[in-house]
Amino acid sequence: MTVQLKDYQQRAIRELLEDSKKLLGQTGNKRLIFKSSTGSGKTMMMAEFLKRLAEDSEARMPFAFIWTAPRKLHEQSKEKLVGYFENSRALECSEFEDLDDRQIQENEILFFNWESINKKDNIYIRENEKENNLGAVIERTKDAWREVALVIDESHHHATSEISQNLINDIAPKLTIEVSATPVIQNPDEIVSVPLEDVKVEGMIKKSVMLNPNFENVLSGDNIKSALADGADALVLETAIKKRKELAKTYEEEGANINPLLLIQLPDRKTKMEDQMKADIIRILKDKHNITTENGKLAIYLSGEKENLENIAKNTHETEVLIFKQAIALGWDCPRAQVLVLFRDWKSLTFSIQTVGRIMRMPEPDKGHYENESLNHGYVYTNLSDIAIREDIARDYVTIYTSRRIDEYEPIELVSVHRKRQREKTRLAPLFIHLFLEEAEKYDLEKKIKTTGQKVQIGFISDYKAGSVDELGGADIVADRSVDTDNEYDLQKSYDFFVRQHLTPFYPEDRSIGQMKEAIYYFFRMRLGIHYMERFRDIINIVLSEDNVQHFVNVLDAAKESYIAEVQKRENELEEDKAWDVPEAVNFGGDYSALGAKLSVMQPFYYDHRWKPEKAFIDFLGKSKNVEWWFKNGDRDATYFAVPYEENEEWKPFYVDFIVKLKDGRIGLLDTKSGWTIKDAREKSDGLQAYLKEHGKKKNLFGGIVANTKLQNSNGRWMIYTDASANLVVDDFSHWNILEI
């Protein structure tokens, strides 16, 4: 399996490796927490981290790994890791029955279910004549001088119990890594966290999960009251089915071959009430929507009933609705799931990232978010009268309020910009192959290398003697003998090591390794007529021979420098939107509250009250008789409006705070500043004025940096700055004009 790691994943893997090596260098057993949200790719990040840890020369110790998880999640994790290591064979994935010599070998991962060994009568725990219990396996593993590293996946489910803690103490791993979106362990030795916003920006998960959209929601403290709470179960179901159909049509219009899945989650209780609820749901689905298990549109995942589940996670699967219980939610991965229904028979619900985790993932993470904003959100419909938001992370992620554009709005179609998505900063893309060939031509590589009689020589240490242990400290022991090899396995290992060694500063993930290998193969085919499939051994012998290896290193280094320069140039590029308009709807979380603002183009207007100058400017606009409407702009992607500006030779998007439509037809692009933020706005001010010079006449635009002469209470004059940035000085309004709107 080839996985393209995201930037945030690479950062997390690097932090995990650095912190682990630091802890492993200390005395005693250490604990590290890895906190990363549902849908962020925790399992893949852990797989790559374990691979790098096992291969890291600085770790200086052979590892045996144990991976535990609740319920049957360990089976899913093992399946993913087996696929991840399919090509590299970097680590072996095993269960108890697979162990050789009843011990965990070096670079082997033992997977097991946490609850199964958390019982004192389990065969893996108790003593038996075969000595095949967990304790004996670990003892034999440690006796073979291997350090044990323990991974506890979804650790918040079990790692804090007394039995679990005793079990961890019995295993006594050198390093314990507890993985969770919501860790509960206190006082770890180190913690590595992946910010939720980073996962959203990369398009791995949806931008938010919307609760009862189009129904009024009121947040009081941590409790949500919704207008849908008064609705019957049938109304909730009908609303959710309508949303699923809308999404399916939108995917089709977007050109994405995805069939969105509606989840109906029943309470875990086993009473006649739950049975009747299930029967009513199945009847409504059949009678009103022709959704049945017989025609494949309905799937059921209950303990005693499983229907139409094979390949259900496939984006094009025909199933439209799945009925399930909470028990299957842990670790269940179906990225096309986008709508969740919960009925009032739940009595109460605590919203957490775990609750909405089933509908957080994007169905095509490599593509990220879609042009149509409705596809970038998950949807929860419920008639529960009592909903609590437990975690801060869920409070930020769950959308409670929706603000919609007024019906009277007429399109303004402004030219806007946003950053291009860059995926090549930390890994090699196919561009590297082209640059390698260019550098090889400049270097005249084909004339400098020798292609006949070349052999890889593998060095080894022979007859090394040290007078005492003390002499070994700081000693540089090098190979003093070498032999030629024709062994294909040894050749491949030597070649792999060479490529990994020369990937720096790029991370040695499989995709980047493959691009560097492919670049060398292309050179041989295009310049020397030597094909990889026919003369694999010859190519490696030529590259790694003593006569040639430095020449290839020189060209690789030059190609990497060219690649970095090209990527940096592309990173500074902005993508232009020819006809930006105020979004039809904007969603808000629990940190926002409604603010009476009749001239806002978005109604109701929600505000987080973070910036006093913004609030004061909103009040100022509300008093104007010439303002038709105003829009409080956001600061991300193509959803919001931005003009280009240059800072430190890099082009960036400047998201102005307000877009103001006046009754005389003019449109103002205004950004509020105060105090020291005025000085920091110089480049942005120049960018805005350049934009107005280019587009102002065509769209009747005006604008600039806006500030109040009274910093403390904003009851002075509102001024606008349209001059060159050199004259933009804090507390000096001599080059400003009064803002008259």
pLDDT at 348 over 60: no
pLDDT given for residue 67 in this prediction:
94
CA angle, 639 then 642 then 648, to 5° = 130
Architecture of the structural domain at 203-399: 3-Layer(aba) Sandwich (3.40)
CA distance 104 to 138: 7
C-alpha pair distances (Å), 594 with each of 227, 402, 520, 678: 16, 10, 60, 29
- Inter-residue long-range contacts of 535-538, CB under 8 Å, 24+ positions, other chains counted: 536/488, 537/486, 537/488, 537/491
192, 12 contact by CB (below 8 A): yes
Out of 358-362, 575-579, 678-682, least confident range? 678-682
CA distance 348 to 717: 51
Neighbours of 546 (CB within 10 A): 12
pLDDT-derived band of residue 501, with 50, 70 and 90 as boundaries?
Answer: confident
| Percent of the chain scoring above 90 in pLDDT | 42
Please name the helix (run of DSSP H) or strand (run of DSSP E) that holds residue 686, with its range, or none.
helix 682-699
C-alpha pair distances (Å), 572 with each of 426, 553, 595: 16, 29, 37
Please state the φ and ψ torsions of residue 697, each to the nearest 5 degrees: -65, -40
Per-residue pLDDT, averaged over 519-540, amounts to 88
Task: Report strand pairing: 701-708 vs 667-672.
Answer: parallel
pLDDT given for residue 157 in this prediction:
61
- Report pLDDT digits (tens) over 667-714: 999 999 887 777 788 999 999 999 999 999 999 999 999 999 987 788
CA distance 57 to 436: 28
pLDDT at 120 over 60: no
What is the Cα 116 distance to its own chain's centre?
31
pLDDT-derived band of residue 224, with 50, 70 and 90 as boundaries?
Answer: low
Task: Kindly calculate the radius of gyration of the chain based on its CA atoms and give it in whole angstroms.
Answer: 31
pLDDT given for residue 470 in this prediction:
41
pLDDT given for residue 476 in this prediction:
42
- Mean pLDDT, all residues of the chain: 83
pLDDT at 603 over 70: yes
Instruction: Quickly name the fold that domain 7-195 has.
Output: Rossmann fold (3.40.50)
Same fold, 7-195 and 203-399: yes
CA distance 684 to 397: 30
- Report pLDDT digits (tens) over 79-103: 889 988 887 788 999 988 888 888 9
- Report pLDDT digits (tens) over 139-181: 999 999 999 999 998 876 665 556 667 778 888 999 999 998 8
Give the type of residue at 489: Y
b vs e for 177-208, b when ≥16 Cβ sit within 10 Å of the residue's Cβ?
bbbbbbbebeebbbbbebbbebbbbbbbbbbb
| Percent of the chain scoring above 70 in pLDDT | 82
Q: 16 vs 302, which has greater pLDDT? A: 16
Alpha-helical (H) ranges within 218-289 are: 233-254, 272-289
Out of 112-121, 558-567, 631-640, 647-656, least confident range? 112-121
Domain ranges of the chain: 7-195, 203-399, 415-419+575-738, 431-460+481-571
C-alpha pair distances (Å), 57 with each of 368, 386, 535, 546, 668: 36, 55, 32, 24, 59
pLDDT at 513 over 80: yes
- Report pLDDT digits (tens) over 396-432: 678 888 899 999 999 999 999 988 765 555 567 788 8
507, 5 contact by CB (below 8 A): yes
pLDDT-derived band of residue 460, with 50, 70 and 90 as boundaries?
Answer: very low
Per-residue pLDDT, averaged over 479-501, amounts to 67
Per-residue pLDDT, averaged over 262-283, amounts to 83
pLDDT-derived band of residue 570, with 50, 70 and 90 as boundaries?
Answer: low
Q: Which residues are bridge partners to 145 per DSSP?
A: none
C-alpha pair distances (Å), 163 with each of 69, 118, 160, 741: 15, 7, 8, 69
DSSP code for 178: E
Q: Give this prediction's pTM.
A: 0.70
pLDDT given for residue 474 in this prediction:
42
Both tokens assigned to 638: 């193509």
559, 518 contact by CB (below 8 A): no
pLDDT given for residue 717 in this prediction:
92
722, 737 contact by CB (below 8 A): yes
Per-residue pLDDT, averaged over 195-204, amounts to 88
Per-residue pLDDT, averaged over 453-474, amounts to 48
pLDDT-derived band of residue 482, with 50, 70 and 90 as boundaries?
Answer: very low
Q: Give me the sign of the Cα torsion angle 686, 687, 691, 692.
A: negative
